[in-house]
Structure 1
C-alpha cells in the first residue's frame, strides 16, 4: 500500500513547475514518459489520499489532496462542467469525467469541510442534469458520442451531490440514470451499451465502473434492485476468476471471455466491488475471490524500491502489451489497487459512507 501511495505522490510531484501543477500525472508510458495531469482521475485520487493519510498516519497526504482540489476548482467552466481529457485547450467536457471530479469535490466537502467544493459539485451536477435525456440516459457529452452504462459511476456522484446539497432534483436525475442502466442488463446480468465503442466487448474496467455505480447508488437510495444488478455481475465474475486470481480483460454477452490478457486495472476495481458486497452482507461467496485477486495484484505490482517510473505502480494490463492501456502505468490502476489494500487492512471505505439522508423529497 505504501509503495502505491508513494507512486501516486511522485506522479503528482512530476507536474510541479508545470501549468498543471497540483494535479496528478495520468501515468507513465513507454512511449511518452510521464503524462500531463488528468483532471478526471486526479479528482477521485483525492479520496484515496485522504484515506491513506488516516491509515498510514501520513498527514502530508491531506495537504496533497488539498492541492488537487485547488487545481480542479481552477479548471471548472462557467457552465459547471470540467474539461475532458487532460484539460488542454479545445478539450470538451464529458459526463463521466466531470462525475469523477465530483467524487473528489465531495471528499473535500465531507472530509475537509470545504464548502467551496460542495458549491462546485452542485454547479457540475446541474450541468450533468441539463445534458440528460428524459429516459435517464446520457447521450450528449459522452465518450465517442454513444451511451455508456458505466456512467452509473457519474450518477453515483450526482446522487451524492443531491443528498449533500438537499436538492431532490439531482437525486431524481441520478436515479433515472441508474434505472436506465439496470434496464440494459441481459438475463445473465451482463450489460449492453457498456463498451467504449459499439460492437466491442467491454473491458472489465468498464464493467466494474458500472457495478460500483449501481451498487453504491442502490445502497444510498435503498433500492435493492440496483444492488442486485451489481451483485449479479459480481457473481458472474467470481465464476470467471481463475484459481490464481486472474480475470479476463473483457467479456462479451453471457460473460464469454473476450480477451487473452487481464486488465489489472479492472481486477482491482472488481475486488473493491466484492469488498463492498461482503461488507453489506449481500449474498455471495466473496472472501476467497477477494483474497485470490488481491494476491494476483500484489504479485504484479512493480516493487523495485528504486523510485523508477514504475516503482510501486500497477500496469493497465497483464501482459503489459494487453489491449487496455497498453504499455502504460495509468494512475487510476494504482489508485484502485491502493483503495483495495486500504479496505483490506482497515475499516475504511473508499470513499467513506455519507450520512444517510431522506430521499422522500425526491421520490
Structure 2
C-alpha cells in the first residue's frame, strides 16, 4: 500500500516541501547512492528501488558508470573520501564485468540476455575516464581504451550506430547516442587518443544532418511512439552530447544546435519549475506529469550553456528546475530505501520508471546542484 499512499500524496501536493540549502539536499542524495550500492551483492549500484514491490533491482552497469564521476566530484567538493572510495569500487566492478570484446552489457545484472550495447558502453566511459584521472590506475585506462575502441569500430561510416542496439528498447536508431559520443570525448580527454574525438564529431554531425528545421531530432526516445514524441530524459541526453562535443571540438554550430533545442524545451517549463515529460516534433507537449530525471538533465544543459556561451539567459530556468526537484526530494522519511532519492516520475505513477526511484535520477540531481553551486561561486569570485 505504500505506493498508493505515495501516489495520493503526490496528487494532492503534500509531498512538495520548501527546499532547504543545496548542501543538505546533496548530502542526502549522495548517501542514498551509497545505500543503493550496498543493496546489491556486488559493488555496482542498484538500478532502482521499487516502492510497489518494496524491493531493489539488480546492479545496472550502464548508470553505475556515470554515477562514478558524480561521487568523485562530490567527494572532492566536500572533502569526503568515503564517496570517492565507493566510486573506485564501482569502477573496479565495471572493469571486472567488462565483456571480452570491450563492450558493456545491456540491462541489469539480472537480465537473461547478455549482449554488448552501444549506449551502455558509452555511459561507462564516463566512469573509467574519471576514475583513471583521479587514481591513475592502469586497469581503468585499459578498460577505457578497450571500450572506446569497441565503440569506434562499431560505428558506421556515416557516423551512426546501427549495430548493437539495446534488446530492451524498441527504438534501434538513436539520436540520443550523441550522449555515447560525449563519452568518447571524455575518453579523448583522459587518453589523448584523437580518433575518439573524431568519432564523436562524426556521430554529432550525423545526428544534426537528420534534424528538422526547428532543431528537432528524430528517433530520439527509448520507445517508438505513434506521435513521435520523446522524453525530456532522452532529449536532454542528445542536447548534452551535441553541446559537449561542440565545445570540445570548437564546433560552434553544434553548440548552437544544442542552444536551439534547449530554448524550445524552456518555453514549456511549468510555473512550478518542472517540465512536461514528453515533447512532440513541433516542440509542443503532450503530458501533464514530469520526468524528474529530465528536469535535472535540462538544468545541467542550461547551466553548461551559460558556462560555454557566457549568455546567462537560461540560468533562471535551471534554478527553477533544480528547486522543483529539491522540493520533491524526501529528506525526512525514516525509510532509508527512499530518503534522499529522486523518483522517476512525479506524480509517481507517471509513465517513466513508474513507482520507482532510479539511481540516475539522483545522480543527475546531484550534478545539477553541484553545477549551480559552481556557477554561483565563480560569479561571487568574479
5+ residue gaps in structure 2? 1-25, 378-382
Question: Alignment partner for residue 270 of structure 2, among 242, 253, 265?
Answer: 242
Of 315-324 and 137-146, the range deviating more from structure 2: 137-146
Residue 108 of structure 2 corresponds to 86
* Residue 156 of structure 1, CA deviation: 1.0
* Residue 188 of structure 1, CA deviation: 1.5
Quickly say closer, same or farther: Cα 1:170–1:346, change in 2 above 3 A: closer
d(CA) in 1 for partners of 2:188 and 2:75? 27
Count of aligned residue pairs for this structure pair: 345
Residue 341 of structure 1 corresponds to 369
d(CA) in 2 for partners of 1:96 and 1:282? 31
Quickly say closer, same or farther: Cα 1:345–1:170, change in 2 above 3 A: closer
Q: Is the 8 A contact 1:159 1:170 kept in 2?
A: yes
d(CA) in 2 for partners of 1:169 and 1:5? 35
Residue 183 of structure 2 corresponds to 157
Q: Is the 8 A contact 2:159 2:199 kept in 1?
A: yes
Q: Is the 8 A contact 1:342 1:348 kept in 2?
A: no
Quickly say closer, same or farther: Cα 1:163–1:60, change in 2 above 3 A: closer
**Alignment partner of 1:292 is 2:320:** yes
**Length-normalised TM-score, structure 2:** 0.86
Question: Alignment partner for residue 163 of structure 2, among 140, 144, 155?
Answer: 140
Q: Is the 8 A contact 1:118 1:161 kept in 2?
A: no
Quickly say closer, same or farther: Cα 1:40–1:348, change in 2 above 3 A: farther
Residue 24 of structure 1 corresponds to 45
- Map 1:26-45 to 2 at 5 A: 26-32=47-53, 33-45=55-67
**Length-normalised TM-score, structure 1:** 0.91
Question: Alignment partner for residue 37 of structure 2, among 5, 12, 16?
Answer: 12
Residue 16 of structure 2 corresponds to none
Residue 97 of structure 2 corresponds to 75
5+ residue gaps in structure 1? 350-363
d(CA) in 2 for partners of 1:251 and 1:145? 16
SS at match of 1:53: helix
Residue 88 of structure 2 corresponds to 66
Q: 1:323-362: CA deviations, max 9, x gaps?
A: 011111000001101111112223699xxxxxxxxxxxxx
Q: Is the 8 A contact 2:31 2:340 kept in 1?
A: yes
Residue 182 of structure 1 corresponds to 208
Q: 1:267-288: CA deviations, max 9, x gaps?
A: 0100011111111235461121
Residue 360 of structure 1 corresponds to none
**Alignment partner of 1:213 is 2:238:** no
d(CA) in 2 for partners of 1:340 and 1:274? 10
CA RMSD of aligned residues (A): 1.7
Question: Alignment partner for residue 198 of structure 1, among 224, 235, 238?
Answer: 224
* Residue 187 of structure 1, CA deviation: 1.5
* Residue 309 of structure 1, CA deviation: 1.4
* Residue 307 of structure 1, CA deviation: 4.2
